[in-house]
């Protein structure tokens, strides 16, 4: 059970209501009026809890679970322990995620961190020309500059800094110690602690007698429903804007260079670095520690394996991996061939 000091549970809910909200079907014999109070993993769930099974690796835990109800694929329904209510879904993990959002909605949207929801703290500095919509929260230590606009329901966390001219939409969560400059941010955006948005791109005209700084005159545009993890940085554009597309999810410790543009619903995982002027199509996935050189196009639906180095454009829908990145099938063949080469016995080996 989630610690109530930190997480607010909105339950209970009936199984019928949950099934309707998550798009699942109740199995025959499951009582739609039965209530559950919380969500929990299979191995710790009790009679008042909802759990799920998606990975066959956890089938044994499912067979012995004490959960009151479980979200499973229809093919697993006959294996359920007696008395467990079943919600049937072809995608149990997604259905369980939606169910969890019912119980803990603030964990999806973010909430105030100091307990001052809907208030502007007297310990915050808000410039007289800033426009803070009714219902927004500005916590102690936050600094909001001239002509900033903050939408209704948005939380500006403790010690966050919003530089002059920035706009932030509705129902956003700007966590403590975030810095934002030269940026326009859409609705329902989550920026976790330490995120830096809109600082200078790394632009210099290199040469003697010294490197000359190139003024970075673009902005950062973050579209709706984006989430950016802790200590990630997104540089503003050099002239064109840096754009983070709608629904994109970025992990902790990612570097986004100037002029980068991502499409919709991209996934960019921890410690990835994307150099300037690279373009990502829709639904691109960059796994952990991927490096992307500048001025490339990674087309829609492409997936890049962890610790790969992308130095050429990637066609749509392709899986690439390795250093340098190439089609995964080719990369795997090379790994196998190299392994076999290393296992070959040297001439005369084993002879006395």
- The residues annotated with a catalytic role in the active site are 258
Q: In the β-sheet with 131-132, what is the strand arrangement from edge to edge?
A: 131-132, 149-150, 167-168, 183-185, 220-222, 242-244
> 344: Cβ–Cβ under 8 A, 6 or more apart, which residues?
none
Name the H helices within the chain: 15-22, 59-63, 92-103, 106-109, 328-343
Q: Crossing angle, helix 92-103 and helix 15-22, to 10 degrees?
A: 120
The label of the residue with tokens 């209704």 reads 152
Q: Label the pairing between strands 143-144 and 161-162.
A: parallel
Of 14, 68, 169, whose CA–CA distance to 180 is shortest?
169
The label of the residue with tokens 């955006």 reads 189
Cβ-contact 77, 86 below 8 angstroms: yes
Gap between the Cα atoms of 61 and 53, Å rounded: 9
Q: What letter would DSSP give residue 123?
A: T
> 219: Cβ–Cβ under 8 A, 6 or more apart, which residues?
182, 183, 184, 198, 236, 237, 241, 242
CA angle 56, 62, 65 (to 5 degrees): 160
Q: What are φ and ψ of residue 13, in 5° steps?
A: -135, 150
Return the sign of the alpha-carbon dihedral for residues 117, 120, 122, 126. Answer: positive
């Amino acid at each position: 059970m989630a610690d109530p000091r930190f997480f607010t549970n909105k339950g209970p809910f009936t199984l019928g209501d949950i099934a309707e909200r998550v798009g699942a079907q109740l199995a025959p014999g499951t009582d739609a009026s039965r209530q559950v109070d919380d969500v929990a993993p299979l191995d710790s769930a009790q009679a008042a809890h909802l759990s799920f099974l998606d990975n066959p690796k956890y089938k044994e835990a499912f067979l012995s679970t004490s959960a009151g109800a479980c979200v499973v694929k229809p093919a697993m329904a006959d294996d359920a322990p007696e008395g467990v209510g079943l919600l049937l879904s072809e995608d149990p993990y997604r259905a369980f995620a939606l169910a969890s959002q019912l119980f803990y909605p603030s964990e999806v949207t973010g909430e105030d961190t100091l307990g001052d929801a809907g208030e502007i703290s007297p310990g915050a500095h808000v410039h007289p020309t800033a426009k803070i919509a009714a219902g927004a929260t500005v916590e102690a230590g936050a600094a909001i500059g001239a002509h900033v606009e903050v939408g209704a329901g948005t939380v500006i966390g403790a010690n966050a800094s919003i530089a002059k001219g920035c706009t932030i939409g509705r129902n956003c969560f700007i966590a403590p110690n975030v810095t934002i400059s030269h940026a326009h941010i859409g609705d329902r955006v989550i920026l976790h602690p330490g995120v830096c948005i809109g600082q200078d791109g790394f632009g210099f005209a290199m040469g003697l007698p010294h490197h000359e700084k190139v003024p970075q005159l673009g902005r950062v545009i973050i579209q709706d429903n984006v989430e950016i993890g802790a200590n990630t940085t997104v540089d503003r554009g050099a002239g064109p804007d840096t754009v983070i597309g709608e629904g994109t999810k970025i992990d902790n410790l990612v570097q986004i260079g100037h002029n980068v543009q991502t499409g919709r619903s991209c996934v960019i995982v921890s410690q990835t670095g994307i150099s300037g002027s690279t373009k990502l199509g829709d639904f691109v996935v960059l796994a952990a520690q991927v490096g992307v050189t500048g001025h490339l196009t990674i087309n829609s639906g492409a997936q890049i394996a962890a610790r790969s180095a992308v130095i050429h454009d990637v066609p749509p829908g392709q899986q690439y991996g390795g250093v340098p990145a190439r089609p995964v099938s080719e990369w795997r063949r090379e790994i196998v061939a190299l392994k076999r080469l290393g296992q070959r016995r040297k001439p005369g080996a084993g002879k006395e």
